[in-house]
Amino acid sequence: MLNLLELANPMSVIPYLLASFIARSVGAAMLTTIGISQKI
């Protein structure tokens, strides 16, 4: 869990948001690839 001091620090929040965005993008890409491969 992030504590309040880390949440208040933009230098900690930006990498966290970037990491979560990348993780969602990779997850969506993997699901799309699996869906396409199942259609073929």
Indicate the domain borders of the chain: 11-39
pLDDT of 29 above 90: yes
Q: pTM of the full predicted structure?
A: 0.55
pLDDT for 32 equals: 94
Q: Tell me the two tokens of residue 4.
A: 């309040």
Kindly list the distances between the CA atom of residue 7 and the CA atoms of 3, 31, 40, in Å, as whole numbers in the listed order: 6, 31, 45
Q: What is the mean pLDDT of the chain?
A: 83
Q: Tell me the two tokens of residue 26.
A: 């990779």
